[in-house]
Amino acid sequence: MLYPGWWHFGGHFSIADLDGLGHCTALTDLNLNSMVAPCSLAPLATLTSLRRLVVDAIDDHRDLETLTNLPALTELEIVNFARTNDHERWPGIIGELRAHGVSVHGW
């Protein structure tokens, strides 16, 4: 599991992009909540073992469609979904993931 654990200590601890994360092909659990700045999720495409993912909807990440192509994904937790203004992109992604048997939940 990879989790950026510095909670509210300023932007200098924030992860600016996910480039390079694709080399962690054995990664099974990833939490992008909190300290990951809005960025592209495209680097997750090579994480073929990723089973569980936590994403903060407020972060407005790009390339959400990458999530629908993660072959081992079984659970997606969308944090702050109720607080996001982006209600256009998420429903299609959630529907497609659920159609593939992925458990999608959030708050």
Tens of pLDDT, residues 71-80: 999 999 998 8
Tens of pLDDT, residues 3-45: 455 555 555 567 888 999 989 999 999 998 767 888 999 999 9
Q: How far apart are the C-alpha atoms of 53 and 70, rounded to whole Å?
A: 10
| Cα–Cα distance list, 84 to 47, 78, 79, 100, 106 (Å) | 26, 10, 10, 24, 12
Q: What is the DSSP letter of 13?
A: G
User: What pLDDT sits at residue 80?
Assistant: 86
2 within domain boundaries: no
User: What pLDDT sits at residue 7?
Assistant: 53
- In the chain, what percentage of residues exceed pLDDT 70? 87
CA angle 91, 42, 63 (to 5 degrees): 30
Residue 66 is encoded by which pair of tokens? 């990458």
Ramachandran sector of residue 52 (left: φ over 0; alpha: ψ -120 to 50; beta: rest): beta
Number of domains in the chain: 1
84 within domain boundaries: yes
User: What residues make up the domain containing 81?
Assistant: 19-106
User: What pLDDT sits at residue 106?
Assistant: 87
